[in-house]
């Protein structure tokens, strides 16, 4: 189990992680979701004792990382996909890791088999593809057979086959009763991998729920309506307690967006009041779009982009 309590990290004026609290239980894959720059890597680094929190704590099975007697046997991590492999074979690399952490040499061939690298174990790891490097990183994380595992964007850059393999592997590790925390900036990826989702935006907790709950919450349904009696329609929908927004001027004229109502409800309301409708269409925004809105990722990106452009111009 991982427990994060009031975790905060400032880098000068930047608040990378802001009073974050959540728990990662054992026996399931927990997704750690947020747009680029949301603070996922910083949080993971603090859990792993690689970065010091400004305030708050992160505990692994009840202890901060630096108090773990045998870290490699208590927590495994795969952090940087671009990590450069040493100029030695996969087996030699793992043997060196095992020896320096008091782990039996026999475990090396076991983890190589687990990640499907047995056949290339004698080859120079420097020549490995990204997918093979990821597997070697996983083998290293599993060397101490730890009950807690952290993966930072493990599928970035992998082909579909590699993505599927990693996804299944993480699910298998969780089904063995381990605590598995995996970060991603893609909701679509996480919805296929994790059961629980911890969602952050700009360092803050946005949601901690099951994947399905988050999807239901973030995919707002709306109905677009057009009418020659738009004002009358707006008034009667508002009178029924519905949320109504202007949908901007399109080629077909002004329209309204009615949130959280079905086409049936709106059509019936219009009919009962003798309001003519030119359009009545159900809209469902893309889930990723809704997610970006919820986490503030889009705003941050645009704002930063603009600053850069402005800065360059001045
Ligand atoms: N060493 C550092 N010094 C200064 N600022 C940092 C440092 N590390 C991270 N940050 C800033 O903290 C914020 C969070 O970054 P972090 O890498 O944790 O986000 P992330 O969610 O992992 O995003 P990504 O997927 O892009 O890595 C960003 O604004 C980033 O620029």
Ligand 1 atom nearest the C-alpha of 17 is: 14
Residue nearest to atom 18 of ligand 1 (CA): 39
Residue nearest to atom 5 of ligand 1 (CA): 11
Q: What is the ipTM of this complex?
A: 0.94
End-to-end CA distance of the chain, in Å?
Answer: 50
| Residue 169 exposed, middle or buried by CB count within 10 Å (0-12, 13-18, 19+) | buried
Closest CA to 139 of 161, 178, 109: 109
185 pLDDT higher than 50: yes
Instruction: Give the number of residues written for the chain.
Output: 314
What is the reported pLDDT for 81? 56
- What integer is the mean pLDDT of 255-262? 86
Q: Is 66 helix (H, G, I), strand (E, B) or coil?
A: helix
C-alpha to C-alpha distance for 211 and 190, rounded to whole angstroms: 8
Residue nearest to atom 7 of ligand 1 (CA): 11
Domains of the chain and any CATH numbers: 2-217 (3.40.50.300), 221-284 (3.30.70.120)
> Which range is least confidently modeled, 90-104, 134-148, 189-203, 293-307?
293-307
What is the reported pLDDT for 217? 72
228 pLDDT higher than 90: yes
C-alpha to C-alpha distance for 165 and 167, rounded to whole angstroms: 5
pLDDT tens per residue, range 164-182: 999 999 999 999 999 999 9
Q: Is the model's pTM score more than 0.80?
A: no
Residue pair 219/227 in contact by the 8 Å Cβ criterion: no
Q: Give me the long-range contacts of 102-109 (CB less than 8 A, separation at least 24).
A: 102/70, 103/72, 103/73, 103/143, 103/144, 107/143, 107/145, 108/143
Residue nearest to atom 4 of ligand 1 (CA): 11
295 pLDDT higher than 90: no
Ligand 1 atom nearest the C-alpha of 45 is: 18
Ligand 1 centre from 53 Cα, in Å? 14
CA distances from 226 to 22, 57, 248 (A): 44, 53, 11
Ligand 1 centre from 1 Cα, in Å? 24
**What contacts 87, CB < 8 A, 6 or more positions away?**
124, 126
C-alpha to C-alpha distance for 103 and 73, rounded to whole angstroms: 9
Ligand 1 atom nearest the C-alpha of 38 is: 21
For every residue of 116-175, which 3-state class applies, written as one string? Answer: CCHHHCCCEHHHCCHHHHHHHHHHHHHCCCCCEEEEECCCCCCCHHHHHHHHHHHHHHHH
Residue nearest to atom 11 of ligand 1 (CA): 16
More confident residue, 212 or 170: 170
pLDDT tens per residue, range 23-44: 999 999 999 999 888 999 999 9
Q: What angle do CA 33, 41, 80 make, to 5 degrees?
A: 110
């Amino acid at each position: 189990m991982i427990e994060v309590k009031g975790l905060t990290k400032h880098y000068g004026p930047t608040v990378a992680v802001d009073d974050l609290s959540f728990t990662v239980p054992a026996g399931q894959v927990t997704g750690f979701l947020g747009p680029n720059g949301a603070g996922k890597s910083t949080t993971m680094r603090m859990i792993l004792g690689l970065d010091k929190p400004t305030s708050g704590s992160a505990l692994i099975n009840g202890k901060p990382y630096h108090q773990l007697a045998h870290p490699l046997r208590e927590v495994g991590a795969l952090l940087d996909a671009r990590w450069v492999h040493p100029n030695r074979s996969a087996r030699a690399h793992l043997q060196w890791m095992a020896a320096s952490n008091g782990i039996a040499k026999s475990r090396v061939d076991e983890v190589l088999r687990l990640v499907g690298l047995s056949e290339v174990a004698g080859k120079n790891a420097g020549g490995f593809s990204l997918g093979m490097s990821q597997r070697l990183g996983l083998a290293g994380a599993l060397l101490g057979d730890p009950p807690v595992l952290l993966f930072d964007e493990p599928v970035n850059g992998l082909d579909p086959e590699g993505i599927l393999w990693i996804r299944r592997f993480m699910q298998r590790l969780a089904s063995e009763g381990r605590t598995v925390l995996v970060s991603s900036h893609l909701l679509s990826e996480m919805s296929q991998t994790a059961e629980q989702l911890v969602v952050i935006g700009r360092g803050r907790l946005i949601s901690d729920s099951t994947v399905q709950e988050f999807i239901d919450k973030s995919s707002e349904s709306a109905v677009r309506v057009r009418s020659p009696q738009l004002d009358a329609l707006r008034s009667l929908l508002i009178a029924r307690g519905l949320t109504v927004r202007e949908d901007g001027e399109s080629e077909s004229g002004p329209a309204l967006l009615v949130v959280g109502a079905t086409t049936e409800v709106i059509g019936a309301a219009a009919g009962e009041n003798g309001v003519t409708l030119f359009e009545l269409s159900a809209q469902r925004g893309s889930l990723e779009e809704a997610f970006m809105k919820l986490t503030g990722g889009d705003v941050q990106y645009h704002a930063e982009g603009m600053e850069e452009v402005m800065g360059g111009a001045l």
